[in-house]
Amino acid sequence: MLDVREELTPMMAQYTDLCEEHDDALVLFQVGDFYEAFCQAAETVARICEVTLTKREDSTGRYPMAGVPIDNAASYVERLLDSGYRVALADQVQPAEEASGLVDRAVTQLITPGTLVDDELLDGSTANYLGAVVRGRGDGGDGGDGGDGGDGGDDGANGTRRATATATYGLAVVDVSTGECLVTSGDRTTVVEEIERLAPAELLTAPEIDLDETAVASGAMHTSFDPGAFDLDAAREQVSAYARPDAVLASDEEIRAAGAVLAYAEYTQGGDRLDYVSRVTRFDPREYMRLDATALRSLELFESRSRSGRTLMGTLDETACALGRRRLEAWLRRPTIDRDEAEARLDAVEALSTEGVARETLREALREVYDLERLVGRVSRGRANARDLRSLATTLGVVPDVREALETVPDHDAGRLATLADRLDDCADVRSLVERAIVPDPPQEITEGGVVREGFDDELDEIRAVEREGRAWVSDLEARERERTGIDSLEVGYTQVHGYYIEVTNPNLDSVPDDYTRRQTLKNSERFYTPELKRREDEILSASERADALEYEVFCDVRDAVAAETERIQELADVLADLDVLATFAGVAVEHGYTRPTFGADALAIEGGRHPVVERTTEFVPNDVDFSKGEIALVTGPNMSGKSTYMRQIALTSIMAQAGCFVPASETRLRIVDRVFTRVGASDDIAGGQSTFMREMAELTEVLHGATGESLVLLDEVGRGTSTTDGLAIARATTEFLHDEVGATTLFATHYHELTDLADEYDGVFALHFTADRAGDDVTFLHRVAEGPSSSSYGVEVARLAGVPERVVERARNLVDAAERGDGEGGRADDTSGGDTNAAGREPDASSTDGRTAAATNGHDPRDAAGTGAGPEDVPETEQGDAGTDPAEKTLPASAQPTDGRAKSAPLPDPSAGPRDDTNHAREVLADIRAVDVARTTPMDALALLHDLQRRLDDTDREP
Ligand code: ADP
Ligand code: MG
């Protein structure tokens, strides 16, 4: 950056050194009350933080400079982090007045997305993880005997790939704000899935890891850290500062990952051991219901796919404090597969749900609970101020209320509630220490006094007494001197610069006594001091200074004493978090009519089940499901009839139950589910946009490899992204495989009506369907599931219900029948009832476009017409005649062109339509609307159609 070091001033040289030391970060360099950046970095800071770019000028030259005030540095740091920078805070670590020349500065904190500790930068409701991932050797069995060293050289790319597929990966995460540290290992899929689930904000990758291997964790900043930290021996030593590596962790990979993550965490926090990382916890993903990123997303657990923004988390989150909020998130992200654990939680929820007053008292108390985990983190890092300690005391103060409320809950002396109550340590000693030591409403600053309570420290009290006595003497001085001098207007005052003075106005200067010494001359008066006043002044100031310094010392002692109790406070936080979630589950259950699920059923069965999220905004129709009929349910029904909602509500019910929550159903009999898979067919995943058929198939692969007899599989329109023949074939083969090889509880929503034939062929496969009904002039969806497949022509049924002319309906039915007989061309020829009329009606179109003919006769599925040209040119001739008048109106822009699906079912013009007139035109539009096959129209097609219709109506309006 600055090439000639010798030519720099000492300060700029110091800055340059720090920048070189932290070359992966943006160094913010304390100069007084500002953090400054220079040169190129200054330009970055100015741009991102929107502050003025100025220049620093010294004896060696002019440098661009940009600074942000230290007082609200957090908001600027946040912007820099958001823009992908790490920020190194280089603070003055020596009081300016002690420095003989240049003030010492050092990087006290490296702020990165994964190592945030500032409340202002953190979201209270989610953990903020830093992760590290490593790859071990493949477990092909030759790792141990070491006899194959010779052919290592020609292993080549193939060998590497093989190793990647079978290797064990290690993953460790730490939340630097709370001290939580989790470690696991497994094959690549498992670990990638855990990365997705834990969603670290920053991920360290070991040198052997290719970035694209873990590119799935796209939300994370990727950091390459000192490769030495991933070294097994170094890592083992690093971990042993926190836990006995070989006792707690299961493999070298876990040790390496944990070592690296802890080393980096320490490095960012200034290099010392992080005392509040009091436990390194190993977990096995197999202890939890596995939910990969696709499942989390499509079930909308934490992120909504629609504009409503509603999620399961948002629906259930009535927690009282941040501890509970993060615990709720963790339970939903990792539902247990331990039935005893789930039952223990459910027992507690049941007990809490029966006693409303006790529950509300408990929640009221929990609302007073501060974020203990992060608070204790700050205490332990020596970053807590006096207010933090008072907040801690306040929280400890509600623990007795929590206990009291618990004691009024029925069955509180058994099960989980009893265990939690036993662990509820109110840390009375810590609280009393803080309350005795710290004033009730302390200032933000801890170095300027006013923090420590009177009576806590004798020495401090003595110094304060001296100060107080001195001040009292001064405040009496005015009266005394007025009397002594006879000057009634004499005043005693104080300025920061000159200290204490006695002020006498000019007319009275004659009466000033001899022991007054002049200090300052003003326009109308003179200021004096006396030797005694000077002595007192020195006494007061030095006492006050000493008191402030001593207060800071006393405060730090108290903070250290609290830090020594870190583990107890963390334990308390853990208990309060559980209680908050259990009480929340109970409250939500009562408020929304959830019931307790039971486990141990042979097959999943739900009566009167609802979708927990959808029911909050919609008059919801409850539905049943019963897998004792078989493990695979094929769900058919028109678009918008409720298939997707139904499938998701079943998965959400299982997730909620295994998190320990009551469920929205009148009765629920469940099996413990080891893993939930959800796959949404490409064309159905409009919100996602980026879905492709390839991706759909890749995801399907994961299901077929990963599912077990204990899994719950949701397949929503899988196979839709390709042609009918292919799609149907894939759907059928998938179902057969799931039936024969996997035995997972499966719900398959499909528009391939043919698939429901499988229900007749296989035991264990059964069909369900949703129907549409007519109410008045509207087609309505009852959203009610019924047994059996929907009638093969449900689309035609919907058309009839919608009021499509009987002749069209008839014709459509014939086409369906013909297709089902495998007689693609025969529809019209065989048709005796309406064939002639239909033929006549179609003539003009058939002759005008080839694609049209193909579309009209080619089977019953719209997708068969793909690529046949049945597109926008497929407009009735009457319209084409219109084209000359306004060519711009004739065709839709490419993006809005209706796809084959609509084009085929929509334009069947009224054969009697004469030359165009307003009414006829409008009638055509209406007929086209009626003719839409709702069952086979995707939302995209519907939009395109609407667009088309609007244009045509505009057209009508404009015609004379
Ligand atoms: P499909 O997958 O069959 O196209 P969806 O499940 O997407 O249908 O549901 C379509 C609409 O119907 C959604 O907006 C949903 O809110 C509503 N819906 C679905 N099931 C129900 C139900 N049981 N009760 C009330 N509304 C429902
Ligand atoms: Mg759907």
Any atom of ligand 1 within 6 Å of the Cβ of 643? yes
The interaxial angle of helices 835-848 and 806-820, nearest 10 deg, is 80
CB-CB neighbours of 60 under 10 Å = 14
Using the mean position of ligand 1's atoms as its centre, give its distance from the Cα of residue 626 in Å.
Answer: 20
Atom of ligand 1 nearest to the CA of 638: 3
- The alpha carbon of residue 578 and the mean position of all alpha carbons in its chain are separated, in whole angstroms, by 20
Return the pLDDT at 862: 37
* Substitution site in 300, 640, 683 for ligand 1 pocket (most atoms within 8 Å of beta carbon): 640
630-636: strand order across its sheet: 290-291, 675-680, 712-716, 745-749, 630-636, 764-775, 778-787
β-strands 281-282, 221-223 pairing: unpaired
Identify the residue with better confidence: 759 or 397: 397
Nearest CA to ligand 1 atom 14: 640
Residue 944 Cβ inside 6 Å of ligand 1? The answer reads no
Residue among 783, 784, 798 whose CB has most ligand 1 atoms within 8 A, to mutate: 783
State pTM to two decimals: 0.76
- What confidence score (pLDDT) does residue 854 get? 34
Query: Over 90: is that where the pLDDT of 889 sits?
Result: no
> What residue type is 836 in one-letter code?
D
Over residues 331-365, the pLDDT tens digits come to 999 999 999 999 999 999 999 999 899 999 999 99
Decide: 792 in ligand 1 pocket, CB within 6 A: no
Which pLDDT belongs to residue 578?
98
Tell me the one-letter amino acid at 135. Answer: R
Range 377-405 average pLDDT: 93
> What sign does the dihedral 534-536-541-542 (CA atoms) show?
positive
479's CB contacts (< 8 A; 6+ apart) are none
Q: What is the pLDDT of residue 857?
A: 34
Name residue 54's beta-bridge partners.
Answer: 65
CA 667 from centroid of its chain's CA atoms: 31
Integer Cα distance of 825 and 839 in angstroms: 13
Find out whether the beta carbon of 637 lies less than 6 Å from any atom of ligand 1.
yes
The whole-angstrom separation of Cα 87 and Cα 179 is 21
Contacts for 64 with CB less than 8 Å, ≥ 6 apart:
38, 39, 40, 42, 43, 46, 53, 54, 55, 56
pLDDT of 843 strictly over 80 = no
371: left (phi over 0), alpha (psi -120 to 50) or beta: beta
Q: Rounded mean pLDDT of 525-533?
A: 93
Length of the chain measured in residues: 960
Pairing of strands 764-775, 630-636: parallel
Mean pLDDT value of segment 65-74: 89
Residue with tokens 């290797």: 167
Q: Cα of 643 to ligand 2 centre, how many Å?
A: 6
Choose the residue to mutate in 645, 646, 937, 938 for probing ligand 1, maximizing ligand atoms within 8 Å of C-beta: 645
What per-residue confidence (pLDDT) applies to 23? 86
Q: Tens digits of per-residue pLDDT, 545-581?
A: 999 999 999 999 999 999 999 999 999 999 999 999 9
**Ligand sitting nearest the alpha carbon of 716:** 2
**Which of 10-24, 246-260, 896-910 is predicted least confidently?**
896-910
- The ligand minimizing its distance to the Cα of 641 is 1
What is the structure's pLDDT at 933? Answer: 66
- Closest ligand 1 atom to Cα of 639: 4
769 CA to middle of ligand 1, Å?
13
Distance 642 CA to ligand 1 centre (A): 3
Side-chain half-sphere exposure of 445, counting CA atoms within 13 A: 7
- Mean pLDDT, the chain, integer: 81
Nearest CA to ligand 1 atom 11: 640
- Strand, helix or coil at 235? helix
Which residue, judged by its Cα, is nearest atom 17 of ligand 1?
A: 642
pLDDT at 477 over 60: yes
pLDDT on residue 164: 52
- Over 80: is that where the pLDDT of 883 sits? no
In the prediction, which pLDDT does 774 show?
Answer: 63
Residue 639 Cβ < 6 Å to ligand 1: yes
- pLDDT at residue 240 in the model: 93
pLDDT of residue 872: 37
Give the list of residues 6+ apart from residue 185 with CB closer than 8 angstroms, or none: 136, 168, 169, 170, 171, 191, 250, 251, 253, 254, 257
Whether pLDDT at 893 is above 60: no
Which has more pLDDT, 193 or 665?
665
Q: Which ligand 1 atom minimizes the distance to the CA of 622?
A: 23
Burial class (CB within 10 angstroms; exposed 0-12, middle 13-18, buried 19+) of 656 = buried
Which of 645, 678, 644 has its CA nearest to residue 295?
A: 678
**Cα 306 to ligand 1 centre (Å):** 14
Q: Which atom of ligand 1 is nearest to the CA of 623?
A: 23
| Ligand 2 center from residue 735 Cα (angstroms) | 18
Tell me which amino acid residue 124 is: G
- Ligand 2 centroid to Cα of residue 714, in Å, is 11
Least confident stretch, 61-70, 229-238, 799-808 = 799-808
**pLDDT higher than 70, residue 880:** no
What spacing in Å lies between the alpha carbon of 734 and ligand 2's midpoint? 19
Q: Within its chain, how far is the Cα of 686 from the centroid?
A: 21
Residues lining ion ligand 2 (Cβ < 5 A) are 644
Pairing mode of beta strands 26-31, 34-38: antiparallel
Q: How far apart are the first and last CA of the chain?
A: 74
DSSP state, 789?
P
Q: The tokens 């953190």 sit on which residue?
A: 122
Tens digit of pLDDT for each residue in 268-303? 988 888 988 988 999 988 889 999 888 998 899 998
Between the CA of 637 and the centroid of ligand 2 the distance, in Å, is: 10
Q: Do residues 467 and 544 make contact, with C-beta atoms less than 8 angstroms apart?
A: yes
How far, in Å, is the centroid of ligand 2 from the Cα of 521? 88
pLDDT at position 892: 33
Out of 224-238, 443-457, 863-877, least confident range: 863-877
* Ligand 1 close to Cβ of residue 636 (< 6 A): no
pLDDT for 683 beyond 60: no
Ligand nearest to C-alpha 781: 1
**Whose CA is closest to atom 10 on ligand 1?**
640
DSSP codes joined into one string, 809-855: HHHHHHHHHHHHTT-TTHHHHH--SSHHHHHHHHHHHHHH-HHHHHH
Sign of the CA dihedral running 153, 158, 160, 163 = negative
The token duo for 926 is 């209406």
> Cα of 781 to ligand 1 centre, how many Å?
8
Residue 641 Cβ inside 6 Å of ligand 1? The answer reads yes
648 Cβ closer than 6 Å to some ligand 1 atom: no
**Amino acid type, 220:** A
Q: For residue 124, give Cα distances in angstroms to 374, 803, 831.
A: 9, 54, 68
Question: In the 3-class helix/strand/coil scheme, how is 552-586 assigned residue by residue?
Answer: HHHHHHHHHHHHCCHHHHHHHHHHHHHHHHHHHHH
* pLDDT surpasses 80 at 514: yes
Query: Measured from the CB, is residue 618 less than 6 Å from ligand 1?
Result: yes
* Mean per-residue pLDDT, 683-705: 65
Does the structure show a pLDDT above 70 at 709? yes
- Count other Cβ atoms within 10 Å, centred on residue 854: 17
* Confidence tier at 161 by pLDDT (50, 70, 90): very low
Closest by CA to 575, choosing from 432, 420, 453, 692, is: 420
Q: Which atom of ligand 1 has the smallest separation from the CA of 641?
A: 3
**Ligand number with the minimum distance to the CA of 619:** 1
Specify the higher pLDDT residue, 905 or 503. Answer: 503
Question: Which strand (E) or helix (H) includes residue 896?
Answer: none
Does residue 647 contact residue 747 with C-beta atoms inside 8 Å?
yes
Q: Which of 57-61, 290-294, 421-425, 828-832 has the lowest mean pLDDT?
A: 828-832
What pLDDT score was predicted for residue 219?
Answer: 65
Distance of CA 120 to the CA centre of its chain: 17
Q: What is the mean pLDDT of residues 173-198?
A: 90
Residue 621 CB less than 6 A away from ligand 1: yes
Q: By percentage, how much of the chain surpasses pLDDT 70?
A: 79
Tell me the pLDDT band of 658, cut-offs 50, 70 and 90.
very high
Rg (CA), the chain: 38
Residue type for position 818? A
| Residue whose CA lies nearest to ligand 1 atom number 16 | 614
Nearest ligand 1 atom to alpha carbon 716: 2
Ligand found nearest the CA of 642: 1
Contact 30, 91 (CB under 8 A): yes
522 and 505 in contact (C-beta within 8 Å)? no
DSSP β-ladder status, 623-626 and 712-716: unpaired
The two tokens of residue 70 are 């230290």
- Residue 643 CA to ligand 1 center (angstroms) comes to 7
Confirm or reject: Cβ of 771 under 6 Å from ligand 1: no
- The answer to whether the CB of 262 falls within 8 A of the CB of 143 is no
Over 90: is that where the pLDDT of 101 sits? no
Overall average pLDDT of the 167-179 stretch? 92
Atom of ligand 1 nearest to the CA of 647: 6
Task: Determine contact, residues 765/630, Cβ cutoff 8 Å.
Answer: yes
Q: How confident is the model at residue 197 (pLDDT cuts 50, 70, 90)?
A: confident
